[in-house]
């Protein structure tokens, strides 16, 4: 009896259990035409590998490198896409390679020296995230009031990202002074007690490009970006990869 075709395919792919394989082998013994066909299918698989396996050994072209410079063409072409990529890539910080040449201000999604904005966000994080008893002025149980109050003080409707899926619960927020007016700081906490802060302030005239950037201030990592008139910074004492993932959630929720 001729085996079912899916068994023949699985035979060629070495995906059969021993009993099934023995059954197919027996069938091939008694059917020369079938055996020839199966042999041709096995040869075909080998030919495909012979023809295309050398691609594995080719050097990967520059444009397919998962490093920021390889993506700047894209980044220039589409700033939003660049933001997404930058988030996903968790870019190296300038502190990893202090000797690198200065990066052009127009180059988005690149590491650059921490801006005054990022430095302020990092310091505010360090001061308030360390507070055990009073980390926030208004806690998350009064979220509506918190958002209304900070929105009124900043003069823009604020949106508070929900980071539960990333493992962080909103603790609350506070109002801080900044060089360009009031600043809102929202604080989140993980089950382990680790905290993140989202720092939102009016964009300073001195702030440069709007790209997504990473900075390190002592133990505090900061992802920051400018969106229209506003600057956002997410800070935490967590590794860059984890912070970049949460930053990605924040960005998506603020830009649905």
Closer of 10 and 119 to another protein (Cβ): 10
Q: At its nearest, how many Å lie between another protein and the CB of residue 48?
A: 5
Contact 135, 172 (CB under 8 A): yes
Closer of 10 and 126 to another protein (Cβ): 10
Q: At its nearest, how many Å lie between another protein and the CB of residue 118?
A: 22
Closer of 97 and 145 to another protein (Cβ): 97
Closer of 62 and 144 to another protein (Cβ): 62
Count of C-beta atoms within a 10 Å radius of residue 57: 6
Q: At its nearest, how many Å lie between another protein and the CB of residue 36?
A: 10
Copy the structure tokens of residue 51.
Answer: 């023809």
Give the separation between CA 118 and CA 94, rounded to whole angstroms.
13
Closer of 47 and 148 to another protein (Cβ): 47
Which residue has 């003069």 as its token pair?
Answer: 155
Q: At its nearest, how many Å lie between another protein and the CB of residue 17?
A: 13
Measured at the CA of 225, the angle between CA 122 and CA 211, to 5 degrees, comes to: 130
Task: Single out the residue of 114, 128, 139 nearest to residue 195, CA to CA.
Answer: 128
Strand ranges in 10-162 using DSSP code E only, listed in sequence order: 138-139
Give the separation between CA 93 and CA 245, rounded to whole angstroms.
16
Q: Enumerate binding residues for another protein (CB under 8 A).
A: 5-6, 8-10, 12-13, 15, 37, 40-41, 44-45, 47-49, 51-53, 55-58, 60-61, 63-64, 66, 71, 74, 81, 84-85, 87-90, 241, 245, 248-249
Q: At its nearest, how many Å lie between another protein and the CB of residue 231?
A: 22
């Amino acid at each position: 009896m001729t085996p079912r075709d899916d068994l023949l395919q699985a035979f060629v792919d070495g995906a059969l259990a021993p009993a099934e394989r023995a059954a197919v082998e027996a069938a091939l013994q008694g059917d020369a035409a079938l055996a020839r066909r199966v042999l041709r299918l096995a040869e075909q698989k080998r030919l495909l590998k012979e023809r295309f396996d050398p691609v594995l050994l080719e050097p990967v072209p520059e444009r397919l490198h998962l490093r920021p410079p390889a993506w700047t063409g894209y980044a220039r072409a589409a700033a939003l896409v660049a933001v997404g990529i930058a988030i996903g890539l968790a870019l190296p910080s300038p502190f990893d390679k202090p000797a690198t040449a200065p990066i052009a201000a127009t180059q988005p999604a690149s590491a650059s020296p921490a801006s005054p904005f990022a430095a302020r966000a990092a310091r505010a994080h360090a001061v308030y995230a360390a507070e055990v008893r009073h980390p926030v002025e208004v806690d998350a149980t009064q979220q509506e009031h918190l958002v209304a109050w900070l929105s009124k003080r900043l003069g823009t409707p604020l949106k508070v990202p929900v980071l539960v899926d990333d493992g962080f619960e909103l603790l609350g927020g506070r109002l801080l002074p900044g060089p360009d007016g009031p600043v809102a700081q929202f604080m989140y906490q993980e089950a382990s007690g680790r905290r993140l802060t989202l720092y939102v302030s009016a964009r300073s005239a001195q702030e440069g490009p709007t790209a997504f950037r990473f900075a390190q201030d002592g133990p505090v990592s900061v992802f920051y970006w400018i969106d229209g008139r506003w600057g956002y910074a997410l800070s935490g004492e967590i590794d860059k990869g984890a912070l970049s993932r949460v930053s990605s959630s924040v960005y998506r929720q603020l830009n649905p």
